[in-house]
Amino acid sequence: MSVDFIILAAGNSSRMKSSLPKFFHTIAGKPVIRYAIDAADACSYGGRTVLVTREDLQHSEHFSDTTVVIQDKPLGTADAVKCALNELHSEYTIILCGDMPFITTKHLATLINSSAENALIAMKLPAEFQNMPYGRVVLDNGKFERIVEYKNAIDAEKAITLANTGVYKIRSDLLKKYIHRIEKNAVSGEFYLTDIFNFIAEVEVAKSQDYEAFHGINTMQDLAKAEAIMQNELRQKFMASGVKLIDPSTVFFSHDTVIGPDVVIEPNVIIGVNVKVGAGSRIYAFSHIQDCTIAQNVEIGPFARIRGNSSFADGSIVGNFVEVKGSVVGKCSKVKHLSYIGDTIIGYSSNIGAGTITCNYDGVKKHKTDIGNNVFVGSNTTFIAPVTVGDEALIGAGSTITENVSSNALSIARARQTSYENGAEKIWSKKGKIYSESEK
């Protein structure tokens, strides 16, 4: 059996009150639309995934691996599906909405594996959500009768607790045959895809208790709720795998975060996309980490900022108020205090003193700094990239390094200190600011 997927993502997102379409807002660092696309792609039943969207969204990077068709005007879900008909080549078509981040291959498989040729998923509304404006699935003696849109429902229909999820399985030949018979709704002026079931004799209803899986993202409140649910799921997953979260509710992960066992994460840590943390490492409080690989037994933070495809070898340490961008910190090397390390490679067992800065940007281009093995860099050193420091070199505190430093060299690059005996007294006398003992 081959299956195509149609994902509907042409809505105007007006209730979001945002210039960014709802499909591109992120949950755990992943755009909302990618959850639906990835769930469909993972099923891989020999068909293709077709995304229906607006013209101004068609070139989004989030759609680069998906067949995209355009709905010129927002004339309803049936009209959106019509736009995709020429791309359907499989025996069956599964249709879903692009704003459901919790839908999974398991939910889609419920339809795919159903013996029924035409089916839909209906969710049981929890008591607190009885007034949600979902379409209602009307049954007659337990069998499907019709779907009524909430805005068209009478009070008795609104009281039905079985809601439409917008996820359907339809035999492709029937979809192509009957979708053109759907008439414009008199109330909304739209073409409702749900009306296609008026022409199909046998429709199976797969009932689900998983309300959250089918809850769409339409408002900022929906987005915040989905983020909270996703973060809680990630926290539980990591703790179950041996990660210690001292205050779980204050730690935030991304959908692709990978963490080994015996990692400790202190409160108020944010982990962005593309982060891997090796076993036994510790992330101290108030650190922000993204796009990096952290090996085993590494210490990061507190108040550290990591980004730009950085990596940290076993036993390395990045301390408080340190920012690392696009750099490599070698095995057992330390950058412990108040430093910026950008576009830099640090070898093993090197020590970078407090206040060290790699000046990697000249206003036009980024440049590299290469610091070797067993190097000691004194505090408040400034490296003017591009520059290379050889193994076992020693850099004096307060130096500004503009030229390469060879291995085993001692390099001191700072202005010579000059002191004048009683010089301060002479200057203060001229300014009339000699303080008396009482004023002190």
Enzyme catalytic residues: 337
Please state the length of the chain.
440
Angle (nearest 5°) at CA 257 between 251 and 258: 115
Report the run of H or E that residue 383 belongs to, with start and end: strand 382-384
Tell me whether strands 369-371 and 387-389 are parallel, antiparallel or unpaired. parallel
Backbone phi, then psi, for 125, in 5-degree steps? -75, 125
**What letter does residue 363 receive in the DSSP assignment?**
S
Residue 70 β-bridge partners: 53
Are residues 305 and 320 in contact, defined by beta-carbon separation less than 8 angstroms?
no
Indicate if the alpha-carbon torsion angle 149, 150, 151, 152 is positive or negative: positive
Give dist(CA 310, CA 430) in Å, integer. Answer: 54
**What letter does residue 183 receive in the DSSP assignment?**
P
Give dist(CA 138, CA 88) in Å, integer. Answer: 29
Query: Nearest to residue 300, comparing CAs of 309, 133, 308, 280?
Result: 280
Q: Following DSSP, what letter does each residue of 143-156 receive, concatenated?
A: EEEEEE-GGG--HH
Are residues 140 and 49 in contact, defined by beta-carbon separation less than 8 angstroms?
no
Give dist(CA 80, CA 8) in Å, integer. Answer: 7
Are residues 95 and 172 in contact, defined by beta-carbon separation less than 8 angstroms?
no
Tell me whether strands 143-148 and 26-27 are parallel, antiparallel or unpaired. unpaired
In single-letter form, the type of residue at position 211 comes to Y
Both tokens of 374, joined, read 């067993």
User: How far from 283 is each of 69, 76, 246, 264, 354, CA to CA, in Å?
Assistant: 45, 48, 11, 6, 20
Are residues 306 and 326 in contact, defined by beta-carbon separation less than 8 angstroms?
no
Q: Where do runs of H (alpha helix) occur along 326-389? A: none
